[in-house]
Amino acid sequence: MAALAEEQTEVAVKLEPEGPPTLLPPQAGDGAGEGGGGTTNNGPNGGGGNVAAASSAGGDGGTPKPVVAVSTVAPAGAAPVPAAAPEVGAPHDRQTLLAVLQFLRQSNLREAEEALRREARLLEEAVAGSGAPGEADGTGAEAASALLSRVTASAPGPAAPDPPSTGASGVVTVSGSASGTAAPGKVGSVAVEDQPDVSAVLSAYNQQGDPAMYEEYYSGLKHFIECSLDCHRAELSQLFYPLFVHMYLELVYNQHENEAKSFFEKFHGDQECYYQDDLRVLSSLTKKEHMKGNETMLDFRTSKFVLRISRDSYQLLKRHLQEKQNNQIWNIVQEHLYIDIFDGMPRSKQQIDAMVGSLAGEAKREANKSKVFFGLLKEPEIEVPLDDEDEEGENEEGKPKKKKPKKDSIGSKSKKQDPNAPPQNRIPLPELKDSDKLDKIMNMKETTKRVRLGPDCLPSICFYTFLNAYQGLTAVDVTDDSSLIAGGFADSTVRVWSVTPKKLRSVKQAADLSLIDKESDDVLERIMDEKTASELKILYGHSGPVYGASFSPDRNYLLSSSEDGTVRLWSLQTFTCLVGYKGHNYPVWDTQFSPYGYYFVSGGHDRVARLWATDHYQPLRIFAGHLADVNCTRFHPNSNYVATGSADRTVRLWDVLNGNCVRIFTGHKVQWIIQSGCGMLSKHLKI
């Protein structure tokens, strides 16, 4: 009986398209990488009846139609109750929907009623008229009274009501007993917007708290945290910035401009120094109209700020808000923050500073639990011929040389498979060409002759400097053997230099190639036109500044990315553009070839990275999850993973196989560190 008395009734209304569901292709993984797990926020006032109204985008399948689902949520240990989900096309389903709206109106939950009515596209007159006395059949009133009595009976007892709240995905949740009263609020007609998702995002800030009390609420919490024990102060201080942002946005959205300005001026100086750039952007949002279409505002609203707090510190915060009846702050904690609670000692200030700083706080623990194959792939077995000096011969005096012990051919021994390496066939990789094998043989020979570096044996270093780059140098790349340098310029050109005595030559014309003996040993030299030899080649094709350049491992191709939203593949044999890859909608900041060639990755202003293959004009994978521009991209040396650095001050590691985000690295404090940080990650992985 006790279990039955503690049941909670949940009524969900959502919109579904009439057309058939559309499945995304497996090669276009969204890779949001936020991880699973339930929310850790629990209300301070206990439970009551829950009425939730959820909506989903109609999609392209047709006009959305509401679907009503009534389910009973039982406590732990109780038997689950199956839920029925009839379609709203029948009169009974429409009556059920109207009954839910009548219940919300009778409970004085006008905000939830307004949101549900707007999603269901029902006029307020229809809701009011459905339950009016004297209706012909009276089914609407009977359904409303039956639902009201059912929900009221399921409530465990009188409890202080929680104010209505709206989740990040557009879910409106109202918690509290049926007999509780909510603060009165203004309900007005809402016009249909061109972008309903933006309107739903902004409507979450339609709180009805007293604007004059916001400073008092924030000051009270600040005083409580500053007076708490040192072991809890550092963790609870993480709440200052996200609470400040969302309280300011609530004031602006509800058109309390003077109160918002006063609130900002009073508390913005208390935030951490690495948030000052974000606060400068936030200060420009002074009117409700400024919030619509503002990317910064949408970032704060659509992504929950992640905080990692020990259980003791969380219980201390919860107890304080419960004693002070500070529902305004508690609503923000529940709706806009994700508190990742862990058992153990609270973290110190140094530990917290090493992980915070990104736009969305720290990474969830679930986001970094996927298995990562960080080992290197097994090198192919290549027979390396011995040098002539190892053979027997005669010295200058005519005496035979001493026979040296025979060396094992380098690469002939099968190296042990790295236990942390991915399977060799996990992703398809191109086979080695003869030229690639020759390069590896040369590298192996040079490896045997290298000396051990130390204080007495320092390496020689050669620096190259661009002088008088009046066109504005915006990108640069160097081949692995330091034979070529490519630069991207603001005048939309790509320039390639040879830094060796060997000049750059183009392939002869087709008429001249037909006269060459293709069976000759030096055919590769004969096909080159000596008349075109020069130290510099200029490549034309982009229509905007070139921000990224990358040589292929075999030095036969060059990639360039530009402000024009394209990535171009250039041939270093003919010095012409072979392919233009179009997929980004905005400038492409960076691109890079895979260590094995064939694949390459690009990232840009549209906040996503894309994986391409040179023989496909459409991307193979789309890596989405960053909250700001993707400034740099790097491949893992085993080509199974891609690292992306973003202006949201995070570095993400993506799995090429399925497009999922397997790691989120936080801790950067300013945006410009991201590019060097991503490069450092790549260099570290190569060692």
267 band by pLDDT with thresholds 50, 70 and 90: very high
Q: For 637-655, what is the mean pLDDT?
A: 95
pLDDT (tens digit, 9 = 90+) per residue, 116-141?
A: 777 676 654 454 444 433 333 444 44
pLDDT of 439 above 60: yes
Q: For 393-413, what is the mean pLDDT?
A: 49
Answering whether pTM is above 0.75, one says no
Q: For 191-210, what is the mean pLDDT?
A: 51
Q: Which of 195-204, 241-250, 473-482 has the lowest mean pLDDT?
A: 195-204
6 band by pLDDT with thresholds 50, 70 and 90: very low
Q: Which residue has the higher pLDDT, 52 or 488?
A: 488
In angstroms, what CA-CA distances link 313 with 151, 167, 250, 348?
Answer: 35, 24, 26, 12
Per-range mean pLDDT, top range of 146-150, 435-439, 605-609: 605-609
Candidates 592, 625, 635, 585; CA nearest to 606 is: 585
Distance, in Å, from the CA atom of 251 to the CA atom of 258, rounded to the nearest integer, reads 9
**Confidence (pLDDT) at 263:** 93
460 band by pLDDT with thresholds 50, 70 and 90: confident
**Confidence (pLDDT) at 61:** 39
For 341-404, the DSSP string reads EESSSPPPHHHHHTT--STTBS--GGGG-S----SPPPPPP---PPPGGGS--B-TTSPBPPPP
Distance, in Å, from the CA atom of 102 to the CA atom of 138, rounded to the nearest integer, reads 13
The CA radius of gyration of the chain, in Å to the nearest whole number, is 32
SS3 assignment for 595-613: CCCCEEEEEECCCEEEEEE
**Confidence (pLDDT) at 509:** 79
Dmax over CA atoms of the chain, in Å, equals 126
Q: For 405-419, what is the mean pLDDT?
A: 56
Q: For 221-246, what is the mean pLDDT?
A: 93
Half-sphere exposure (Cβ direction) of 303: Cα atoms closer than 13 Å: 24
Give Cβ neighbours of residue 194 (< 8 Å, ≥ 6 apart).
none
- Asked if 8 contacts 152 with a C-beta cutoff of 8 angstroms, the reply is no
**Confidence (pLDDT) at 290:** 85
Average confidence score pLDDT of the chain: 73
pLDDT (tens digit, 9 = 90+) per residue, 334-343?
A: 888 999 999 9
- Asked if 636 contacts 594 with a C-beta cutoff of 8 angstroms, the reply is no
Give the pairing of strands 630-635 and 484-489.
unpaired
- Asked if 519 contacts 501 with a C-beta cutoff of 8 angstroms, the reply is no
Instruction: Give me the torsion for CA of 265, 267, 269, 270, rounded to 10°.
Output: 180
566 band by pLDDT with thresholds 50, 70 and 90: very high
pLDDT of 401 above 80: no
**Confidence (pLDDT) at 96:** 76
Q: Which residue has the higher pLDDT, 283 or 397?
A: 283
Distance, in Å, from the CA atom of 59 to the CA atom of 565, rounded to the nearest integer, reads 27
Task: State which amino acid sits at residue 12.
Answer: A
Candidates 380, 372, 373; CA nearest to 430 is: 380
Candidates 416, 429, 426; CA nearest to 378 is: 416
Distance, in Å, from the CA atom of 187 to the CA atom of 206, rounded to the nearest integer, reads 10
- Asked if 377 contacts 594 with a C-beta cutoff of 8 angstroms, the reply is no
Q: For 567-589, what is the mean pLDDT?
A: 94
**Confidence (pLDDT) at 155:** 38
pLDDT (tens digit, 9 = 90+) per residue, 31-64?
A: 444 433 433 444 444 443 333 333 333 334 333 3
Q: Which residue has the higher pLDDT, 677 or 349?
A: 349
Task: State which amino acid sits at residue 392.
Answer: E
pLDDT of 318 above 70: yes
